[in-house]
């Protein structure tokens, strides 16, 4: 059996051995508990970020920490809105605090690099703030040995992949909620957790250029999805996952791994 990359499977002595190398990299998946229409589970963002972290960790020899399984409030223009039941969210200050606590704990224990792998659009700036506050409190300045990286996995999808996944034109990452990207990835990675027979096709959401609070609920399509998942396939999911994990692992290896011998091992 393959050695697990998940911290939850490691014993404390094996973890300390990894720390003692001085080269430990810990990836933290970040997601949400959020409605994703009738065909995808509420945990989709967390499930997908965890799979990306696992794939990258295997190639880099990194470890994957417990995910942050709740996210910042779903916004109408990127996740349908926080008013929809099934969506359970954190205040910004709470997510900032969680990120800050995790960075402080891992870096103080001797982890060299922490990498947040984000899978929920609304989280990004709160994670950034938590990281910044933690580094400030730890007195970690530019040029230090230790660092923290933050990324959203969809930013690694290449133009070439995009054209193959969306032959009729790409709707935009913000309204890719419950759409072809997430559905195809879930079909590839977790087929038993997708109900394609429940998928409802329809036009993409038409949303104003401003945010209005409180939201006008009718602006979110009844499905809860902002673009249609029709056209999703296992093959598209496999293409997306393989390309993103490959590029992500290569970028992180180039940025974080000192010893070329340790760099990217084939999956
Ligand atoms: Zn999502
Ligand atoms: Mn989301």
Q: Look up 36 and say whether it is catalytic.
A: yes
Asked whether 115 and 28 are in contact (CB, 8 A), the reply is yes
Average pLDDT over residues 126-143: 98
What pLDDT score was predicted for residue 3?
Answer: 87
- Indicate which ligand has the atom closest to the C-alpha of 176: 1
Cα 179 to Cα 40, 102, 122, 223, 238: the distances in Å are: 10, 31, 17, 11, 16
**φ and ψ of 113, to 5 deg:** -135, 135
- Active site annotation includes 34: yes
Supply 183's token pair. 């559905």
Residue with tokens 């496999």: 238
Cα(106)–Cα(219) distance, integer angstroms: 42
List 90's β-bridge partners, or say none.
72
d(CA 159, CA 157): 7
- The alpha carbon of 121 and the centre of ligand 1 are apart by a number of angstroms equal to 8
Catalytic residue among 54, 176, 182, 188: 182
- Say which residues have a Cβ less than 8 Å from residue 180's Cβ, sequence separation at least 6: 165, 166, 227, 228, 229, 230, 231, 232, 236
* Rounded Cα distance, 186 and 184, in Å: 5
pLDDT band, very low/low/confident/very high, at 260 (cuts 50, 70, 90) = low
pLDDT digits 0-9 by tens, 146-176? 999 999 999 999 999 999 999 999 989 888 9
Mean pLDDT of the chain: 95
Query: How confident is the model over 121-129, as a mean pLDDT?
Result: 98
Catalytic residue chosen out of the listed positions 39, 113, 177, 188: 177
Provide the pLDDT for residue 251.
Answer: 98
Q: What is the pTM of this model?
A: 0.95
Q: Is position 182 annotated as part of the catalytic site?
A: yes
At 83 the pLDDT is 97
pLDDT at 264: 60
Cβ atoms 126, 72 nearer than 8 A: yes
Is 120 an annotated catalytic residue?
yes
pLDDT of residue 58: 98
Choosing from 39, 51, 113, 120, the catalytic residue is: 120
Instruction: State residue 266's pLDDT score.
Output: 60
- As a whole number of angstroms, the distance between CA 232 and CA 188 comes to 10
State pLDDT tens for residues 50-81.
999 999 999 999 999 999 999 999 999 999 99
The sheet with strand 113-118 has its strands ordered as 63-64, 25-30, 113-118, 147-152
Neighbours of ion ligand 2 (CB under 5 A): 32, 34, 45, 79, 120
**Checking DSSP bridges between strand 113-118 and strand 63-64, what pairing results, if any?**
unpaired
Worst-scoring range by mean pLDDT, 62-71, 95-104, 202-211, 240-249? Answer: 202-211
H helices present in 31-179, as ranges: 44-60, 76-79, 92-108, 124-138, 159-165
Residue spans per domain, the chain: 7-262
**Is 259 designated active site?**
no
Q: Is 113 a catalytic residue?
A: no
Determine the straight-line distance between the first and last CA of the chain, rounded to whole angstroms.
15
pLDDT of residue 199: 96
CATH architecture of residue range(s) 7-262: 3-Layer(aba) Sandwich (3.40)
Statement: residue 262 has pLDDT above 80: no
The whole-angstrom separation of Cα 33 and Cα 47 is: 10
């Amino acid at each position: 059996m393959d050695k697990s990359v998940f911290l939850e499977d490691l014993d404390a002595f094996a973890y300390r051995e990894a720390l003692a190398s001085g080269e430990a990299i810990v990836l933290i998946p970040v997601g949400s508990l959020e409605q994703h229409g009738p065909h995808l589970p509420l945990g989709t963002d967390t499930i997908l970020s965890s799979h990306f972290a696992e794939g990258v960790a295997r190639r880099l020899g990194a470890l994957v920490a417990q995910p942050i399984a709740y996210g910042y409030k779903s916004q109408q223009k990127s996740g349908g809105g926080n008013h929809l039941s099934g969506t359970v969210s954190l205040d910004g200050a709470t997510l900032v605090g969680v990120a800050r606590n995790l960075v402080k704990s891992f870096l103080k224990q001797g982890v060299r690099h922490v990498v947040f792998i984000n899978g929920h659009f609304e989280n990004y700036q709160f994670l950034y703030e938590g990281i910044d506050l933690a580094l400030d409190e730890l007195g970690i300045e530019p040029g230090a040995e230790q660092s923290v990286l933050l990324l959203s996995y969809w930013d690694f999808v290449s133009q070439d992949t995009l054209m193959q996944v969306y032959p009729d034109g790409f709707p935009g990452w913000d309204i890719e909620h419950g759409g072809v990207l997430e559905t195809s990835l879930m079909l590839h990675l977790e087929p038993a957790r997708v109900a394609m027979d429940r998928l409802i096709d329809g036009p993409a959401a038409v949303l104003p250029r401003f945010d209005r609070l409180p939201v006008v609920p009718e602006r979110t399509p009844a499905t809860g999805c902002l673009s249609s998942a029709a056209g999703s396939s296992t093959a598209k999911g496999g293409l997306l996952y393989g390309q993103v994990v490959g590029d992500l692992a290569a970028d992180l290896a180039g940025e974080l791994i000192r010893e070329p011998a340790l760099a990217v091992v084939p999956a």
